[in-house]
Amino acid sequence: MAEDKVAAYREAYEAWQKQLAGLHEVFLERKRLDPVRLKGLLNREARAKRRYDRARLRLLGIEEEGPFSDLDGGGDEE
């Protein structure tokens, strides 16, 4: 397994978990956010999840095939 794929996977996983923790604060621990900040949080989590999904597929050797290949929608700006 290539070191760069492993590093990319770990980085993407950690970034997604960070955003997911923020969502959990809002939905499970009832942290209040104004609508604009909530929308931003949801968008960041969705982008982080897509990035994680792509890194996971690359790590598994699937690359850009299957249902996640058209989910990119652009860059990974966060």
pLDDT tens digits, one per residue of 27-68? 999 999 999 999 999 999 999 999 999 999 999 999 765 555
Q: Is residue 20's pLDDT more than 50?
A: yes
Task: Collapse the DSSP code of 66 into the 3-class scheme (helix H, G, I; strand E, B; otherwise coil) and give the result.
Answer: coil
Q: What number is the average pLDDT over the span 5-30? A: 96
Q: What pLDDT score does 78 carry?
A: 44
pTM of the model: 0.76
DSSP letter assigned to residue 74: S
Cβ atoms of residues 62 and 13 within 8 Å:
no
Contact 58, 49 (CB under 8 A): no
The confidence score (pLDDT) of residue 2 equals 86
On the 0-12 / 13-18 / 19+ scale of CB atoms within 10 A, 51 is buried
